[in-house]
A and B are shown apart, each in its own frame.
Chain A
Amino acid sequence: MSHSQESGGRRLDRRRFLTTAAVGGATIVGASALGGLDAEAAFAEPMPSLDAAIPAAFAEGRIVATNRNVLDVAGSHGERHLIQLTNATSIWKLRTTTAEAIEVGDGLYARGAAMPDGTIAADAVWVNIVNVYVTIRGIARDRLHLTHGNEELVGHIVPDTTTASYLGGALTADLSRTRIGQEAQVLGAWRPADGAIDIARVSLGH
């Protein structure tokens, strides 16, 4: 208990320090400060690559074991990956989270750098992420009933997390503009236990 309070305190101190650095002496990049006015300016020249010396690596599969910060992953095509998590690894499981949220049996998609010993040092890990095109067939207080082809799916609404985008607009917590019969794209986290989806984002009317 005292340990977690202590680490929580450290976390807040660190955030406070980073906020001061971020807001204090920061470079302001706005529309008029650097470059052209439209976003497409970025495509005028190719982006520099991350780091040519380190080969980029991708891994995808089900987690069969976790050992401290190493995930043992069985790929969909019979391959095996060892994925090393560091404190610079971002972890997504419905929302930005930490390594403690990862469970054996979860699906995973990881991006990182291939290490000489064969492991992958992960930059970013997405756990149970799914992206499906669906039709909304029913709306309840805490879930959407969806069909993907002929398959029925349940999409759970998660308070403070589920967002919606209408006609390509900004993501909003306002879900009340969903309609039965609409086509939608759902990004979310699959629940291995019952096959349902916790919805992170539902995009409508694109």
Chain B
Amino acid sequence: MIPLVSNLAPLACAVLLALTGAAKLFGRQTAQLAANTVLVRVLNDGRRATLALRTLGGAELALAAALLASPEALLPGIGTAVLGAGFTGYLAYAKATAPESSCGCSARAEGPIGVRSFARAGLVVAGGLAAAGADSAWWSQVSRRPGGSALVLAAAAALLLCASADLDHVWLLPLRRARIRVFGNPLPSAAGERVPVAATVQLLENSLAWQTAMPVVRSALLDHWDDEGWRVLRYAGSYQDARGTHPVSVLFALDLTLTVDTAPHPAVRVSLIDEETEEVVPSSVLTPVPVRTALPLAT
């Protein structure tokens, strides 16, 4: 089993390096990609970072060619392992200094450096070490044991697929969907539970009471509590009269079982309490919502 894996490792590594190397060397987006990596900061220049990425692509292609052509030689395998170790070190550095930067590993616009980036670099190290231990060429191995070879290569491809985010939509999302179909949605269904405060706020903000009181309200929701079937929402506000501006608590009381689905036009109790005197402010300071004037019709 182990000789089988290590004899086929040069082929697997070569295909991977050829793909990522070609994408880096010839890809049109390499410059864009380089701009998102930590290389820009290390090299102080976007153009140099692009050049570095393209050079790396060239080196990967050369390694791939060497692995394919002389699979029994020690050097290409060692080179691949060293490259993988270099990737790991670079990732660790980038993660520590600029965790939001892209890794640039497979020359696609990827998200920040995560477990998968490290897994990929680790696979390159392992593949390189395995390739260094190859004692016969991959083509003779494939012709000697075609069935086992196909199995090992398929396993290697699956492993690389799991370590890359590019093909998630092919296998990972259908798998997750199937799991939800079989086991059900794991999130709470909360059937028959109490109305969330956010839903009461939504109901208030859609109400006529809110429009009426809005000129007085200054803050967002300050406090809320439930009492005897009412949900009381408190806002800070201010109103003006002849003696100046006064701070008030604006209180809205709503039926705590209602939502915009069940009550499109709720009745809301509104009161203003003067913060200094603790007295109820007459509701005349509220501006009634004007009745909409009909738009003139063209005749």
A174 and B191 form a contact (CB under 8 A)? yes
A89 and B236 form a contact (CB under 8 A)? yes
> A147-170 interface mask toward B, CB cutoff 8 Å, 1 = contact, 0 = none?
000111000010111010000011
Asked whether A30 and B287 contact (CB < 8 A) given A89-B236, A170-B202, A178-B185, the answer is no
Q: How far is the CA of A171 from the CA of B199 in the complex (A)?
A: 5
Q: Verify if A66 is at the interface (C-beta below 8 Å from B).
A: no
Q: How far is the CA of A48 from the CA of B240 in the complex (A)?
A: 13
B112 and A151 form a contact (CB under 8 A)? yes
Q: Verify if A100 is at the interface (C-beta below 8 Å from B).
A: no
How near does chain B come to A103, taking the closest CB pair, in angstroms? 20
B219 and A29 form a contact (CB under 8 A)? no
| Chain A residues with CB below 8 A from B252, complex form | 22
The stretch from A34-42, A57-65, A67-75 touching chain B is A34-42
For A27, A35, A38, A126, which residue has the most chain B Cβ atoms within 10 angstroms? A27
A35 and B260 form a contact (CB under 8 A)? no
A25's closest neighbor in chain B, by CB? B280
Please tell me which one of the listed residues A30, A50, A95 contacts residue B266 in the complex, with CB atoms under 8 A apart. A30
Q: How far is the CA of A126 from the CA of B293 in the complex (A)?
A: 37
| Chain B residues with CB below 8 A from A88, complex form | 218-219, 222, 236, 247, 275
A33's closest neighbor in chain B, by CB? B267
| Chain B residues with CB below 8 A from A157, complex form | 187-188
| Chain A residues with CB below 8 A from B225, complex form | 15, 19
Q: Verify if B150 is at the interface (C-beta below 8 Å from A).
A: no
Asked whether A175 and B190 contact (CB < 8 A) given A47-B215, A170-B202, A180-B177, the answer is yes
Q: Verify if A124 is at the interface (C-beta below 8 Å from B).
A: yes
B290 and A23 form a contact (CB under 8 A)? no
Please tell me which one of the listed residues A41, A89, A141, A172 contacts residue B190 in the complex, with CB atoms under 8 A apart. A172
How near does chain A come to B265, taking the closest CB pair, in angstroms? 4
Q: How far is the CA of A96 from the CA of B221 in the complex (A)?
A: 7
| Chain B residues with CB below 8 A from A40, complex form | 292
A26 and B271 form a contact (CB under 8 A)? yes
Q: Verify if A138 is at the interface (C-beta below 8 Å from B).
A: yes
A89 and B219 form a contact (CB under 8 A)? yes
Q: How far is the CA of A16 from the CA of B197 in the complex (A)?
A: 19
A124 and B220 form a contact (CB under 8 A)? yes
How near does chain B come to A185, taking the closest CB pair, in angstroms? 14
Q: Verify if A79 is at the interface (C-beta below 8 Å from B).
A: no
Please tell me which one of the listed residues B111, B177, B283, B290 contacts residue A27 in the complex, with CB atoms under 8 A apart. B283
Q: Which residues 96-149 of A have a CB within 8 angstroms of B?
A: 96, 123-124, 126, 137-141
B226's closest neighbor in chain A, by CB? A19
Sorting the interface of chain B by its residue count into under 10, 10 to 19, 20 to 34 or 35 or more gives 35 or more
Q: Which residues 179-224 of B have a CB within 8 angstroms of A?
A: 180, 185-191, 193, 196-199, 202-203, 206-209, 211-215, 218-224
Asked whether A30 and B265 contact (CB < 8 A) given A22-B252, A23-B230, A139-B185, the answer is yes
Q: Give B contacts to A, CB under 8 Å.
A: 99-100, 109-112, 114, 165, 168, 173, 176-177, 180, 185-191, 193, 196-199, 202-203, 206-209, 211-215, 218-225, 227-228, 230, 232, 234-236, 238, 240, 245, 247, 249, 251-253, 259-262, 265-271, 273, 275, 278, 280, 283, 286-293
Q: Give A contacts to B, CB under 8 Å.
A: 15-19, 21-23, 25-31, 33-45, 47-51, 88-90, 92, 95-96, 123-124, 126, 137-141, 150-152, 157, 159-161, 163, 169-178, 180-181, 195, 200-201
Pairs A-B, 8 closest by C-beta atoms = A30-B267, A31-B265, A88-B236, A170-B259, A29-B209, A35-B289, A26-B269, A44-B292
List 27 interface pairs A-B (beta carbons < 8 Å), by A numbering. A15-B232, A16-B227, A19-B225, A21-B280, A26-B270, A26-B271, A29-B209, A31-B265, A31-B267, A34-B208, A40-B292, A88-B247, A89-B219, A90-B235, A96-B220, A96-B221, A123-B219, A139-B180, A141-B186, A150-B110, A157-B187, A159-B188, A170-B203, A175-B187, A175-B189, A180-B177, A200-B198
14 more CB-based (< 8 A) A-B contacts, given A139-B187, A161-B196, A175-B189: A19-B228, A28-B270, A39-B206, A41-B289, A88-B219, A90-B235, A96-B222, A137-B176, A170-B199, A170-B260, A174-B188, A176-B185, A180-B177, A201-B198
